[in-house]
Amino acid sequence: MDEFEAFQDRLTQMHPTLPRQLRRAATYILENPGDIATLSMRKVAAQADVALPNFARLAKAAGFETYDELRDVYRKHVQSRDRITYEERAKKLQFSGADKGVAAVWSSFRDAASESIKGAFDQVDAMVVSSIAREMNERRRIYLAGMQSSHPFMRYLHYIAGMASPSITLVGHEASTTADDLADLGDEDAIVCLAIRPCARTTVEIAQIARQRGALVIGITDSRASPLASLSDRLLLAPVDSPLFFESYVGAVAIIEMLVGFFVIGEGASAIQRIERIEADRRKLGEYWNDAGTMKALPAMEVLACQIAIPAKTNRSDREANLARTVHRVRRELRERPVDLVALPELSAIDYSRHAFDRLAELAEPLDGSSFQAWRAVAREHAVHVAYSFPRLAGDGFRISLAVVGPSGDLVGHFDKLHLAQYGASMEKEYFGTGDHLFVFEVKGMRIAPIICYDIRMPELSRTLAIDHGVDMILHAGAYYRDPSFYSWHQFVVARAMENQIFVLSLNRAGADYGHSMFCPPWVDEERQPIVFDEHDEQFLRLDIKRSKIERARRAYSFVGDRRDRYDLPVIAPAANATESAN
């Protein structure tokens, strides 16, 4: 810290304890360092509307013998800052390149950038940045102002902070005026202003307006002598020295990223949900480049597929204990590595048996029941979607349902089983009613539709979801007991995946009579085979779902594209003479 910065800091600390007239003089000095350096004490006193002797007394209180000694501090600072113009700095840079060579110039930029980053972290305390970010979290809106050379960096701040919160407003964006942008600025808001000396006049005036309206002003600048510094309720100082002919913004960007980081932490699950939605939309709109050389980057997500054991639970307390155990296992998996979607099998909280179904009055639950409450806590904690199945208490009886809760903890939607099995070990028609709707949801741009167990054996359902609703993956929750129908189950999974060229995740429960869940890609051949889970034991697998694999399969084998829109064609009867000849 140089002599000028040290005095400005000392004067700032003294300011609250000074007598009223000396405090007014100190305020003028802090806000107008250029005047102190260039104007006489008489003119300074007149402009500050403070009696002349108060400036001499203030100099004494600050440790100087005379006011001229105080003034010299400001003169030296202004001279060191202003005597070299941008033109002269550019000439100096060119001379340095010709005189010292490429390596020396490269080293000077490297060292300056390193010092700027180090200086930013040395000058800005972690607790201060964290506290400022918390204040931003609590404000109604956050305005961002930076003009001229600072404007691109405020656009960057707007871009990244705006992904986490809808409350971010950039002042001076295209198709607007500054007055329009500030129309609603008030005392419930905050404004972040960035200005590096020589400060843009409009930025300083915006900060003045913000203060007049009672908004919290957060200033990012290079010196306490900056006109923005005196207008800021919270001040963050950025180093700006550079061998370039212009001031460096390396330190300012480091501070911006620190501030956004703490701000995102404070926004919690809502930030994660908004970032996820924005990223999914960007990928859907093809805003990213991909390796295939097309302008459309394709969505991808990761699923935690849970083949879990579900003991024979036939009362509510047993159901809650089993639910708690499953939640604990899933939390442990998510702490090791996060995913985008957690998927569980059919009736994932109760036994699949006549004994359990006889007690549905006790075991069934509404959409907002204990299963929802347990899984919404997991979804919020880990910013993940969770798909779970349960016996649902409906107005006219019971349904076998699958619900999805999103990262915000809100219910995304639910699906009720459409086809009830009444053969082998199944007795569903005796206890449950059928569903009356489809359900499609999105995770990271991937479209997913749940179906339940017996539903997979009806090809029309999967075809409708894939073709009419553009589904990328069928999430098939099952409870496949090892009766005679068990052994045809995998063939149905592969058929549904390949005929529609989509992913099918078919999840069974674990146990001696269950197991063997399957994940089938959009195409199967000698090299690309479905993933089959353990024969009996519990297993948690992380699976990558990429739309690029769907498109690759459909490019190589075009039978989805080659299908006809209609097959209700006329049937031609055999010719009469052909029948007679046969006779």
Q: Which residues contact 456 (CB under 8 A, 6 or more apart)?
A: 462, 474, 476, 478, 489, 492, 493, 496, 504, 506
Give the mean pLDDT of the chain.
87
Cα–Cα distance between 6 and 15 in angstroms, integer? 14
* Backbone φ and ψ of 307, nearest 5°: -90, 100
Q: pLDDT-derived band of residue 297, with 50, 70 and 90 as boundaries?
A: low
pLDDT score at 328? 95
- Structure confidence by residue, pLDDT tens digits, 403-426: 999 999 999 999 999 999 999 889
Domains in the chain, CATH or no CATH each: 3-82 (1.10.10.10), 123-267 (3.40.50.10490), 300-562 (3.60.110.10)
Segment 379-400 mean pLDDT: 95
Q: Which of 258-262, 385-389, 504-508 has the lowest mean pLDDT?
A: 258-262
How do 300-307 and 397-405 pair as beta strands?
unpaired
Q: What is the pLDDT of residues 85-139, one digit of tens each?
A: 666 667 777 766 666 677 877 888 888 888 888 888 888 888 888 999 999 999 9
Helix, strand or coil, per DSSP, at residue 449: strand
Across the range 574-579, mean pLDDT stands at: 70
The DSSP 8-state label assigned to residue 308 in this structure reads -
Contact 502, 539 (CB under 8 A): no
Residues in the chain: 583
- Residue 88 is predicted with a pLDDT of 64
Helix axes 316-336, 370-382, angle to 10 degrees: 10
pLDDT higher than threshold 70 for residue 145:
yes
pLDDT of 347 higher than 80: yes
Report the chain's terminal Cα–Cα distance, integer Å: 111
Q: How confident is the model at residue 81 (pLDDT cuts 50, 70, 90)?
A: low
CA dihedral of residues 347, 351, 354, 357 (deg, nearest 10): -50
Average the pLDDT over 323-348 and give the result.
94
In the DSSP assignment, the letter for residue 84 is S
DSSP helix/strand/coil, 347? coil
Q: What is the pLDDT of residue 498?
A: 95
Residue 486 neighbours by CB distance under 10 Å: 17
Residue 83 has pLDDT above 70, yes or no: no
What is the spatial distance between Cα 405 and Cα 271, in angstroms, rounded to a whole number?
Answer: 16
What pLDDT shows up at residue 306?
A: 97
For residue 565, the SS3 value is coil
The C-alpha atoms of residue 166 and residue 158 are separated, in whole angstroms, by: 10
pTM: 0.52
Q: Are 375 and 402 in contact (CB under 8 A)?
A: no
Alpha-carbon distance of 507 to 304, in angstroms, equals: 11
CA-CA distance, 172 to 234, in Å (whole number)? Answer: 22
Phi-psi region of 65 (alpha: psi -120 to 50; beta: other; left: phi over 0): alpha
Q: Are 405 and 412 within 8 A, CB to CB? A: yes
Q: Which has the higher per-residue pLDDT, 333 or 285?
A: 333
Q: What is the DSSP string of 64-76?
A: -SSHHHHHHHHHH
- Which pLDDT belongs to residue 295? 44
Average pLDDT over residues 210-239: 87
Least confident of 26-30, 277-281, 386-390, 468-472: 277-281
pLDDT given at position 540: 96
The SS3 assignment for 389 reads: strand
Distances 281 to 301, 312, 445 between C-alpha atoms, Å: 14, 43, 7
| Measured CA distances, 182 to 100, 138, 191, 210, 230 (Å) | 49, 19, 10, 9, 21
